[in-house]
Amino acid sequence: MIDLFEKAEKHSFVDDIRQQNIYPYFHALQSKQDTVVQMEGKRRIMLGSNNYLGLTTNPEVIEAGVDAYRRLGSGCSGSRFLNGTLELHLELEAELARFLRKESVVTFSTGFQSNLGIISAIVGRGDYVIMDRENHASLYDGCKLSYGTMLRYRHGDMADLEKCLQKVPDNAGCLIVTDGVFSMGGDIAKLPEICALAEKYGARVMVDDAHGLGVLGEGGRGTASYFGLEDKVDIYMGTFSKSLASLGGYMAASARVADYVRHSSRPFIFSASIPPANCAAALTALRILEAHPELVDKLQDNARYMRRCIAEKGIKMRMGGGEMIPIVPIFTYEPIPTLTITKDLYDHGVFVNASLPPATAPHEALLRCSLMASHTHELIDEAVGIIAEVLGRYEL
């Protein structure tokens, strides 16, 4: 028998990049999550956050959380299923359902847990779940937790998706699962084609819209709204930790499907519910989004502006996404140069995320830049200038 911990002792890549002083993880914030942050004693322009609408610093959102903390305490001390349901949870679910134009919403404690809870409840033994290869890791783990058969199709390849559908037996249920906006590349799912194939073969469709809510669609309603397919997507999943400036996740679906998940999903039934402050902050952020759809317009304007600035500098971006998507991936190709450049940018006051395989394809490592509605063009100019200067020192 080998030592179970042998793998930990051989964790060599992390040791190597630490020794090279290019380890990019766990940098400590000393200020609010904002367009400019104080991080490890220095000003940094934040281009690595998913705070798309910039609401983590909104006074109304903050006050709502503080007020809920005072009125309702620090936590619920139990699951929604038993003692942990607040009127505030029900209010958030009802308002979110109305906003998304679905019959019902179920909230989960985190976005990751939402995907575990939805897929493991809906997909059972004998069923099939078909996944885009670039779907988020939580979707893959949800498939593992289910007892269904998982098939994968090449990213965005509708012919390959159809081949997968043709493998599903006539007596099996089938769920097609896709990110709405892909978190690394920023591309938008080919939802019209996916929905048409689902209808042709009798499959159901689930969209992980963690990076779509507040980003595109009518008033920020997400990917299905963007394509006018709200009645064709059976399940939306989303998070509160991005555009809604809090923590938690949700499923939006028909009333019957939502009720089934509430009574069947182990990750939902056996987890403590969203704390009052997080719930109140998400609800307030949702109301701000409803009242101020221009925030989505400002976010999209910033995305277009940054892409223009980067193109003018001759920097190569990953293409294929909508120009209004606030995820701007810059090719750096190999892991070590990517980490070196990320560290160089950090030292010069710009925080970006290094995206490495397996989060990207081999030889397609990226600098993942992400924008907020609250970024100014002046800040974007400053950041792009630093990015261009740093990249100019490397042969890519």
The residue to which tokens 């990953």 are assigned: 318
Instruction: For residue 305, give every residue at least 6 positions away whose Cβ sits within 8 Å of its Cβ, in sequence order, or none.
Output: 377, 380
What tokens were used for 220? 């920020």
Phi, psi of 199 (to 5 degrees): -65, -40
Please list the alpha-helical segments (H only) found in the chain. Answer: 6-9, 12-19, 59-72, 87-100, 111-122, 137-145, 158-166, 191-201, 223-227, 255-264, 266-269, 276-291, 294-312, 335-347, 377-391
CB 9 within 8 A of CB 327: no
Among the options 102, 136, 155, 242, which is catalytic?
Answer: 242
Among the options 211, 241, 243, 273, which is catalytic?
Answer: 211
CB 296 within 8 A of CB 281: no
In angstroms, rounded to a whole number, what is the distance separating the alpha carbons of residues 96 and 31?
Answer: 30
Cis ω on the peptide bond leading into residue 275 (within 30° of 0)? no
Three-state secondary structure along 341-356? Answer: HHHHHHHCCEECEEEC
211 carries an active-site annotation: yes
Among the options 114, 183, 241, 374, which is catalytic?
Answer: 183
CB 99 within 8 A of CB 114: no
Give the neighbor-by-neighbor strand order of the sheet with 204-208: 104-108, 249-253, 235-239, 204-208, 174-179, 128-132, 149-153
What tokens were used for 163? 């081949």
In angstroms, rounded to a whole number, what is the distance separating the alpha carbons of residues 179 and 181?
Answer: 5
* 8-state DSSP, 56: G
Active site residues: 183, 211, 242
